[in-house]
Each structure stands twice: as structure tokens, then as C-alpha cells.
């Protein structure tokens, strides 16, 4: 149940708020006819309520929403307060929040959303706690954007700061990949369809590949990216979250606690990654583009990887001996996020003559673009000769259901409803950093790859002989 509340966004004038949060919240409030809840923006910008409303309306115009409706929403349900570094600013913020709650007859339910740079997380959480904003008569919920630290030590430090003022049940660490319909449907796909769950193990699966490929480069994020790299930016969070949902055991009950317990068990079954089981890459300019080192904010001679491929194993009963490959990169051949479950070959090669080509059955789960599933199986070509080819059996969310909600809209709705299923728990964050700690401390030299390719050729060596990536 979604109760009336005040949704406080720190970093309210930033890009994330304008592109994702404001449109998602407007659609949520409009869809449910919520005229009681309030959006309250906080940042250092010197706006008043009117200036922030104008700023917000400009962001909403790009969604082609009705001008009259967005104007009414902004005027009736939107407020703003500027906060600097002084404690007096925080005291003033608390008083203003209380005034707005009283004006709208709200009961003290508060969401604190940190749409901020990571370095601002800890001081903002401390400011919220010290000002008394957490001492509300209703419920309080803290939402933290990734990255959750930059290594294991910093993740533990951030969790300690959070837990000084918030119970873990009040914390929502948000990873927008978990809001995608196909990610959520992984559990339904496996557990509601016995034909797949019975195959979901080491007896039938040869390997699992998880790829998050981006065709864009890092030019507009070069300063941040050069201090982070592919492992911190994508593998430790997005790809690992997808991994846990793909590999987890069926939970005892379909509850947030049970599901998140199983995800943590998967991570606890993975040994820290040996650098010998990883390949780093960095894109060059190719024929007509900038190389990574050409970007203005990149340090001269930087060895920050823009590509990473990692091989790991889950040492439990279900997955023992099955390799999992995680792969991500910038300036690659296409924008694609997919899971490939590659099944074992038949034990006897009946169709191994020169006129046939039998390939392993594959299940491709596409998260973007075009969410859906593709089961690739072998069939006989028509004709008198025995010739085998592989065809896809496909399902597309767009074709079946039409446009689906943005991931942020799904996750924001869950935050307001108090459902933590799709959010990352403290121990989950720390376990994931533990797994990749050796890679963060390694001196692996990134191999060069050409813009528009699928990464460095050296990454193919991670696969066992005579195999190619299932996702290309």
C-alpha cells in the first residue's frame, strides 16, 4: 500500500533527477491519482519554490505530458529548499519540511533520495541524522544510488554511516537494472516453468554468459570513469546483481528477506577472482574516433580499463564446475544487455557428418534493447538431405504487452510501497566487493581494442577451447 508521504530528493537540480526521477514520479502520482503526496527538492542551487517548479516543468515537457496537468502538479505538490554546509541550513530544512507536511496534512512519512555524487553520501546522511529529519512520526526510507563505495573498506564505512541513523529495513540501495521487467521475470521464468528449472543446473548447463555492452564511449563521463573503470562501474554492481538472480536457489517464500538471503548465498559461494581469470581492455580510436586516452579528462597514460571480462565459479551443489562469464565494455559493436545460458551438447553426436552443423541449445535473455527471451534450438532443414540448422523461438515484451514502465518507475513505486525485494542489502554489497578485490588491486594491463568491435581478442582465451562467445 502506498501511503501519502513527502519525497525529499537531495541533488534535485541534477541530471539524474531531471531525466529519470521527475518523469517517473510524475507518472506514478498521476497513474494512482495521488494528490496528497509532496515532492520536495533539496540542493545547493539558489532556487525558490517557483524557480524549482519552472525547472521541473522544463524536464517534464520532454515526456510530452499534458502541459496543464504538469503545471497543476508542480504548483500544488512541489517545494524546494537550498542547503549548504552550515548546520543552520539543515535546521532550516527540517523546519521547512515540517511546515510543508502540516500544510498538506501529512503524517510524517518521509523518503530521502540521494541523487548525489558518491562523495556526498556520508555527509548528507550525517546531516539528515543530526538535523532530526529522521525523527518523524511516520516511516522513513533512505534511497542510495550506486556506487556503494569504491572498494570493500569504503563500502563497510558507508554502511556504518548509514546504520548510525537508519535501520537496514529502512535502506534502499538502488540499482536500476533490477527494475527491468526481464530481470524481475527471471524468477517467474525459472520457478513457474518446471521445464526450465529442471534444466537449471550443472547437469544440463555448459556455461552462463552475462554481457552488458555499450556502443557509446565515456567522453561525457571521462573524469568519473578514469577514477573508476569497468569493474567498479559495471561488474561489481549491475552484472553481479544479474548473476545472483540467475544463479540463486528458489527461496523458501516469495518475500524480500527470503529472496535477498538466497542472493547473498550465491555471492558467499564465489571465491575472490584470480586476476588470471580476467581480461581488461581499453578502446583506441579506430579509423574515425577518439581513443580513451584522447578524452580531455583522462590522465595521460591512464591504464583504466574500459572493458573487462571475468570468469568465475559458484562453488555450490547446483553450479559446481559451470563457468560464469561476465563481460562489459564501452565503445563496443552494439548496445546490448543479455544473459546467455548455453546448454550441454548431446552425449552422442548423431548428426556430426559434413552436411550438418549441430550447435549447443542456447537461452538468450535480453534486458535491453527490446526486452524478451530467445530459445535457440536445432531443427532439420526441409529437403531430402539431413541438414541441421538453429532457429530461435522468441518472446518480446513489446510485442506481447506493448510499452513497459521505465525501470526507475518500478523501483520508485516499490520504495513508496516499502517493498525491498529489488534492492541491495548491506551484506550483499560487501560480499560483491570482496569477490572483486583482487582485480581492483591488480596491475593487469588493458589490451587495446578497436572502437565498434566486441573487445580485445585476448578475452576469447577465457573461454575453453573451440568455443566462441554466445553473445555477439
Catalytic site positions: 238
Whether omega for the bond prior to residue 110 falls within 30 degrees of 0, making it cis, is no
Q: Where are the alpha helices (DSSP H) in 192-272?
A: 194-197, 222-226, 229-230, 240-247, 256-268
CA distance 146 to 307: 19
DSSP three-state, residue 228: coil
Strand partners, 283: 449
Q: Is 429 exposed, middle or buried (0-12, 13-18, 19+ CB in 10 A)?
A: buried
Which residues are CB-contacts of 354 (< 8 A; sequence separation ≥ 6)? Answer: none
CA distance 283 to 27: 39
DSSP three-state, residue 79: strand
Cα torsion 448, 449, 454, 460: sign: negative
CA distance 472 to 467: 13
Cα torsion 400, 405, 408, 414: sign: negative
Q: Could you give the angle at which helices 87-104 and 121-131 cross, rounded to 10 degrees?
A: 60
DSSP three-state, residue 275: helix
Whether omega for the bond prior to residue 312 falls within 30 degrees of 0, making it cis, is no
Distance set, CA 3 to CA 32, 97, 106, 328 (Å): 11, 17, 10, 39
Q: Using alpha carbons only, how large is the chain's radius of gyration in Å?
A: 24
CA distance 358 to 346: 10
Cα torsion 257, 260, 264, 266: sign: positive
Q: Where are the beta strands (DSSP E) in 115-258?
A: 140-145, 171-174, 205-213
CB contact at 8 A, 405 and 123: no
Cα torsion 402, 406, 409, 414: sign: positive
Q: Is 232 exposed, middle or buried (0-12, 13-18, 19+ CB in 10 A)?
A: buried
Which residues are CB-contacts of 355 (< 8 A; sequence separation ≥ 6)? Answer: 385, 386, 387
DSSP three-state, residue 364: strand
Amino acid at each position: 500500500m502506498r501511503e501519502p508521504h513527502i519525497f525529499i530528493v537531495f541533488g534535485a537540480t541534477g541530471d539524474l533527477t531531471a531525466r529519470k526521477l521527475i518523469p517517473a514520479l510524475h507518472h506514478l502520482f498521476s497513474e494512482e491519482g495521488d494528490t496528497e503526496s509532496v515532492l520536495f527538492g533539496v540542493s545547493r542551487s539558489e532556487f525558490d519554490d517557483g524557480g524549482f517548479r519552472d525547472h521541473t516543468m522544463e524536464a517534464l515537457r520532454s515526456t510530452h505530458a499534458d502541459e496543464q496537468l504538469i503545471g497543476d502538479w508542480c504548483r500544488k505538490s512541489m517545494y524546494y529548499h537550498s542547503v549548504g554546509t552550515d548546520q543552520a541550513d539543515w535546521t532550516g530544512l527540517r523546519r521547512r519540511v515540517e511546515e510543508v507536511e502540516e500544510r498538506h496534512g501529512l503524517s510524517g512519512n518521509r523518503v530521502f533520495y540521494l541523487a548525489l555524487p558518491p562523495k556526498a553520501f556520508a555527509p548528507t546522511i550525517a546531516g539528515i541524522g543530526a538535523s532530526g529529519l529522521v525523527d518523524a512520526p511516520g516511516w522513513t526510507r533512505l534511497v542510495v544510488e550506486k556506487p556503494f563505495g569504491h572498494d570493500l573498506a569504503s563500502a563497510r564505512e558507508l554502511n556504518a554511516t548509514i546504520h548510525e541513523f537508519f535501520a537496514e529495513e529502512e535502506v534502499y540501495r538502488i540499482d536500476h537494472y533490477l527494475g527491468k521487467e526481464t530481470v524481475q521475470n527471471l524468477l517467474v521464468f525459472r520457478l513457474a516453468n518446471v521445464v526450465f528449472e529442471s534444466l537449471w543446473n550443472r547437469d544440463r548447463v555448459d556455461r552462463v554468459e552475462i554481457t552488458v555492452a555499450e556502443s557509446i564511449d565515456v567522453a561525457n563521463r571521462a573524469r568519473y570513469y578514469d577514477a573508476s573503470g569497468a569493474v567498479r562501474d559495471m561488474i561489481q554492481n549491475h552484472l553481479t546483481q544479474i548473476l545472483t538472480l540467475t544463479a540463486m536457489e528458489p527461496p523458501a517464500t516469495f518475500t524480500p528477506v527470503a529472496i535477498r538471503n538466497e542472493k547473498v548465498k550465491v555471492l558467499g559461494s564465489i571465491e575472490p577472482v584470480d586476476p588470471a581469470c580476467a581480461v581488461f581492455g581499453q578502446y583506441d580510436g579506430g579509423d574515425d574516433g577518439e581513443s580513451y586516452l584522447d578524452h580531455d579528462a583522462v590522465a595521460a597514460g591512464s591504464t583504466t580499463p574500459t572493458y573487462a571480462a571475468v570468469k568465475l565459479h559458484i562453488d555450490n551443489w547446483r553450479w559446481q564446475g559451470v563457468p560464469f562469464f561476465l563481460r562489459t565494455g564501452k565503445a563496443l559493436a552494439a548496445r546490448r544487455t543479455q544473459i546467455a545460458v548455453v546448454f550441454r551438447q548431446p552425449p552422442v553426436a548423431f548428426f556430426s557428418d559434413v552436411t550438418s552443423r549441430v550447435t549447443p541449445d542456447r537461452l538468450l535473455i535480453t534486458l535491453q534493447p527490446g526486452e524478451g527471451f530467445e530459445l535457440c534450438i536445432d531443427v532439420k532443414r526441409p529437403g531430402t538431405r539431413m541438414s541441421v540448422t538453429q532457429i530461435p523461438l522468441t518472446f518480446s515484451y513489446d510485442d506481447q504487452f506493448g510499452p513497459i514502465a521505465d525501470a526507475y518507475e518500478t523501483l520508485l513505486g516499490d520504495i513508496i510501497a516499502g517493498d525491498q525485494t529489488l534492492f541491495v542489502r548491506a551484506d550483499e554489497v560487501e560480499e560483491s566487493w570482496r569477490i572483486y578485490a583482487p582485480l581492483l588491486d591488480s596491475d593487469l594491463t588493458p589490451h587495446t581494442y578497436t572502437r565498434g568491435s566486441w573487445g580485445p581478442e585476448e578475452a576469447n582465451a577465457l573461454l575453453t577451447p573451440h568455443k566462441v562467445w554466445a553473445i555477439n
